[in-house]
Amino acid sequence: MPPILSYHPFKGIATLIFILSAPPYLALLSLIYSVRAFRPIRKWSFKTALGTAWLRLFYHYTVLVRLRPFYANPAKLKERYVLVHPGPSEIYTGVLNHDTIKPTPVPAIWFPKPPAGGEKAPVVIHFQGGAFVAATDPVETGELPSRIFKEKLGGATTFYAQYRVSRDDKTRFPAALQDAVTFYRYVLDQNVDASNIIISGDSAGGALVVALLRYIEEHDTLLPSPRGVMAWSPWVDISHDAPSRYKTTPRLRTDFLPLSLPKWGREAYSPVLRTEQTEPYLTQSTHPFATKTPLFLQAGTAELIYDEVREFAEKMKSIKGNDICYWEVQNAPHDIILAGGYTGFVKEAEEAAERAGEHFGLLG
């Protein structure tokens, strides 16, 4: 059952308290973190300590009030906005063939603009994180990753794909994965060769692109393999006991993810009935698989899900024929490709993207 603060008038009261209390709370932390010894990690900059605290506060509020997801505004974005319609029914098979959850039109944004015909630069399809339940303003959050991808991945254009977040029984798994297939098929239909497409995602979006890669491998006659896949801080363990395990990690105090966010995400995203067919797509950390596609996995050593990402990378590397690049960023909290501007890890995100480009055979 949703928390009482997600209903009006309580939601309005909680929002007012958040708006009034956040500035003095952050001002107090500013004084505390001005002394390096009081920062969660002594090597952190002042910006990292305060930015991480701000994001933790914001996501705590997001969970309490069940903040509505933000979607692209077609009137403002004009030709950059695309409403993508589902592809042919035969590409939604196996785990995507559901009795009540069906593919539906979903929005996306081109950064900086739609590619011109005949353009040779790569296209990055990027899926934003948010524990499968939250979606911040795509225009704002898409600026950093799209700029980095353009600079470090051979002048790439970014297709910022907004899959359905899980807010009811019709948007649980496999809704987001259906949307991922829809977006990939759409870009292919724009005369972009699969060898020129990189699929990317952060956090829950990172888990989604790994799931999409698994789906492509399992149904290789339906969709071609992309040039590469980038998973930034991927949430690869959406198991029942994952949130309880997070309680015991020392990284709980160094990351901005509150425990309530993955708990909400797991409850909302998990299918009503988990089966042998769905489990590899949900607990990916214990279900490595063979892939023909180069895979780039990134994790920060200060983030909540660091252990599971590292272990998943090791298991993927152990499979003969897999081409895996694991990139670890020391003392980084969660999701540097999206949140690096807040947490002071933009340079590290750029370096990671450059390494991914090398892994995929692209020049920066």
Smallest CA-to-CA distance from 163 within 218, 125, 189 is with 125
How many Å separate Cα 252 from the centre of its chain? 19
User: Which element (helix H / strand E) includes 160?
Assistant: strand 157-161
Round to whole Å and give the CA distance between 201 and 206: 4
Cross-strand partners of 332: none
Angle at 19 between CA 337 and CA 44, to 5 degrees: 40
How distant, in Å, are the alpha carbons of 167, 243, 251, 300, 302 from that of 248?
Answer: 28, 10, 9, 18, 14
Alpha carbon dihedral 251, 253, 255, 258, in 10-degree steps, equals 110
Distances (CA, A) of 224 to 119, 254, 277, 292: 20, 40, 22, 10
Name the residue with tokens 């297939």: 181
Tokens of 184: 């990939």
- Is the Cβ–Cβ distance between 153 and 124 less than 8 Å? yes
What average pLDDT values come out for the chain (364 residues) when binned by 10 residues? 86 96 98 98 98 98 95 93 97 97 98 84 97 96 98 97 96 98 98 96 98 97 97 95 88 96 96 93 96 98 97 98 98 98 98 98 73
| Residue 245, number of CB atoms within 10 A of its CB | 14
The Cα–Cα gap between 309 and 24 comes to 36
Q: Which residues are identified as catalytic?
A: 203
- Please give the model's pTM, rounded to 2 decimal places: 0.96
Those residues whose C-beta lies under 8 Å from the C-beta of residue 155, and which sit 6 or more positions away, are: 121, 122
**Is residue 224 packed enough to be buried (19+ CB in 10 Å), middle (13-18) or exposed (0-12)?**
middle
How many angstroms from the chain centroid is the CA of residue 10?
30
Domain 74-360 fold: Rossmann fold (3.40.50)
Task: Answer yes or no: are the C-beta atoms of 300 and 237 closer than 8 Å.
Answer: no
Q: Which amino acid is at 201?
A: G
d(CA 201, CA 356): 13
| Cis peptide bond upstream of 74, omega within 30 | no
Helix (H) or strand (E) run with residue 332 in it? none
Q: What is the DSSP string of 22-44?
A: HHHHHHHHHHHHTSGGGSSSTTS
| Cα(362)–Cα(183) distance, integer angstroms | 23
